[in-house]
């Protein structure tokens, strides 16, 4: 089975369309979407429409909850809060209903999908350091060999060898997974990468070859930026796209 896994689209239609086009070449059978479909970008409804057409395997992110009043934006920084309010005002009724109904986690075969962290799917902690990731492994259900996450907008592959009790951060973004290990993989962000690479990120996972790839694709950043500025969203949200921060 070939999985296409995407996260943190954040209303960036240009990035999302480029990712969808790239995924068309990948013989994907199942698409998983890890949340934060909206927030920051100027096309929340359009991105939601694309996700709805693409797959029913979708979970909610903190920005999806904020946009429908399920999460208090007091926990957001000024820019994120402003974007959440803008999104709240611009979502269609159908979009609001759709976001409200999304679950926080999803299982597909031996894969667990969660936006932030498996121990606290409703608290949205950031998994950044190796130590933070390592404590998540015991929380995974026994038959879960791969947990896919988003939220930090920074891609990364973490491997747990249970027999040796060793957790490590894999260097690089193409990895031949080992059958005796378990993994937590951050698939990066489609619409607002923050790892210094402005290209949109997505993940392809093949259960037969056990190959996991986090890929990147360029997109029309300038158009996405212009839309953000024209919409009256903070200019900084447009500027950061160019730097991947
Ligand atoms: Zn996000």
187 alpha carbon to ligand 1 midpoint, in Å? 12
CB 192 within 8 A of CB 153: yes
Q: 160: which residues sit within 8 A by CB, 6+ positions away?
A: 134, 137, 166, 167, 181, 182, 183, 184
197 CA to middle of ligand 1, Å? 16
Residues lying with their CB under 5 A of ligand 1, a single-atom ion: 8, 36
Distances in Å between the Cα of 104 and the Cα atoms of 7, 77, 79, 121, 177 are 13, 22, 24, 6, 26
Separation of CA 28 and ligand 1 centre (Å):
23
Q: What angle do CA 12, 117, 194 make, to 5 degrees?
A: 35
| Centre of ligand 1 from the C-alpha of residue 57, in Å | 18
Which residues of the chain register pLDDT less than 70? none
**pLDDT tens per residue, range 116-175:** 999 999 999 999 999 999 999 998 998 999 999 999 999 999 999 999 999 999 999 999
Q: Provide the pLDDT for residue 43.
A: 98
- Measured in Å, residue 164 CA sits from the centre of ligand 1 at 33
- pLDDT of the residue at 75: 87
Q: Ligand 1 center to residue 162 CA distance, Å?
A: 30
Question: Could you tell me the distance, in angstroms and rounded to a whole number, from the CA of residue 73 to the centre of ligand 1?
Answer: 14
The model carries a pTM of: 0.97
CA of 152 to the centre of ligand 1 (A): 7
Domain 2-242 has CATH 3.60.21.10: yes
């Amino acid at each position: 089975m070939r999985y296409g896994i995407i996260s943190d689209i954040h209303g960036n239609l240009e990035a999302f369309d480029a990712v969808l086009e790239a995924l068309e070449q990948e013989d994907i059978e199942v698409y998983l979407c890890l949340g934060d479909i909206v927030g920051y970008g100027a096309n929340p409804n359009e991105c939601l429409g694309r996700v709805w057409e693409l797959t029913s395997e979708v979970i909610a992110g903190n920005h999806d909850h904020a946009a429908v009043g399920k999460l208090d934006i007091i926990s957001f920084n000024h820019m994120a809060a402003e974007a959440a309010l803008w999104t709240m005002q611009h979502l269609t009724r159908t979009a609001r209903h759709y976001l409200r109904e999304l679950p926080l986690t999803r299982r597909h075969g031996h894969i667990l999908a969660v936006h932030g962290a498996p121990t606290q799917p409703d608290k949205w902690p950031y998994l950044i350091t190796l130590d933070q990731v390592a404590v998540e492994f015991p929380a995974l259900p026994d038959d879960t060999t791969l947990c896919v996450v988003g939220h930090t907008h920074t891609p990364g592959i973490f491997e747990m060898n249970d027999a040796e009790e060793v957790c490590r951060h894999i260097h690089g973004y193409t990895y031949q997974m080992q059958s005796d290990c378990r993994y937590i993989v951050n698939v990066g962000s489609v619409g607002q990468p923050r790892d210094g690479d402005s290209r949109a990120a997505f993940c392809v996972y093949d259960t037969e070859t056990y190959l996991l790839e986090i890929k990147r694709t360029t997109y029309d950043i300038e158009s996405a930026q212009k839309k953000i500025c024209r919409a009256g969203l903070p200019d900084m949200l447009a500027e950061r796209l160019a730097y991947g921060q």
